Amino acid sequence: MTQSLSALIWDVDGTLADTERDGHRVAFNEAFAEAGLDWHWSEERYAGLLAVTGGKERIRYFLQQDAPTFEPPEDMDAFVADLHARKTARFAAMLAEGRIPLRPGVERLLQEARSSGVRLAIATTTSPANVEGLLRANLGEAAIGWFQVIGAGDVVPDKKPAPDIYHHVLEGLDLSPAECLAIEDSGHGIAAARGAGIGTVVTVNGYTADEDFTGALAVLDHLGEPGQPCRTLRGEGPDQGLVTLGWLQALHERCAAQS
């Protein structure tokens, strides 16, 4: 007997919203300027830095790659933590100004899930404050409560592509991987979800379109809206270019039947 779809587990950066190029990257650069550092992450350089998940980890990776002789004014942990806190404050301001909208189809699908009793959760590398800020700015304060579990940031030791954050969320939901589907945008993301045994639908973005999505149930350019159909890049896509809850439930059933 195949299990029905009980929960949708959402990634945040690149999935709920296109946050990297015009959000996090800009906030990092503003934080560097605020700290009196002459560093600047261009769109191209940031593409390379996305090889590492986690903002603090990404600063360290940049230092290793681009400024190996850089001597921080204080111990490196404190320096990185301070810089990242400045960046998070800048990002929060951008969110509050409404500069980071949700991607096509996200709000529609969240509402469909809510009205059908399919549970919602989040599995992300970014900090909890960024998740709440994004939801609050785009859907209102109450939307934070729509998600039964918000697994974010440093709550787990190893970040994506490690499956830890998905294990954490499954535990919080008290569900098995087979009862869930994940929605992700990146190679690291699908590796994490698949590592936890969760079927995954991918919506790519400008930074992730060419990444490795081995094992994806479907790879799309977004979730689609009436009048703005999504394109199927790999696997089987939804009719009329609209990812609906019904389509996800059918996809989940087919995938459960095959496994």
Closest CA to 224 of 115, 134, 65, 112: 112
Given Mg ion, ligand XBP, none, residue 177, with its beta carbon under 5 to 8 Å by kind, binds: none
Give the footprint of Mg ion on residues 107-166 (CB under 5 A): none
The enclosing H or E element of 232 equals: strand 232-235
Site map (CB under 6 A) of ligand XBP, residues 128-157, x = contact:
--x---------------------------
Q: Is 229 in the site for ligand XBP (CB under 6 A)?
A: no
Burial of 161-182, coded b for 16+ CB within 10 Å and e otherwise, reads bbbbbbbbbbeebebebbbbbb
Site map (CB under 6 A) of ligand XBP, residues 40-59, x = contact:
-------------xxx----
Residue placing its CB nearer to ligand XBP in the complex, 122 or 242: 122
Question: Does the active-site annotation cover 13?
Answer: yes
Question: Does the active-site annotation cover 11?
Answer: yes
Instruction: Among 127, 203, 205, 208, indicate the residue that binds ligand XBP (CB under 6 A).
Output: 127
Closest CA to 237 of 222, 220, 250, 253: 220
Q: Is 13 in the site for ligand XBP (CB under 6 A)?
A: yes
Distance CA 100, CA 203 (A): 17
Instruction: Among 7, 9, 11, 119, indicate the residue that binds Mg ion (CB under 5 A).
Output: 11
Active site residues per annotation: 11, 13
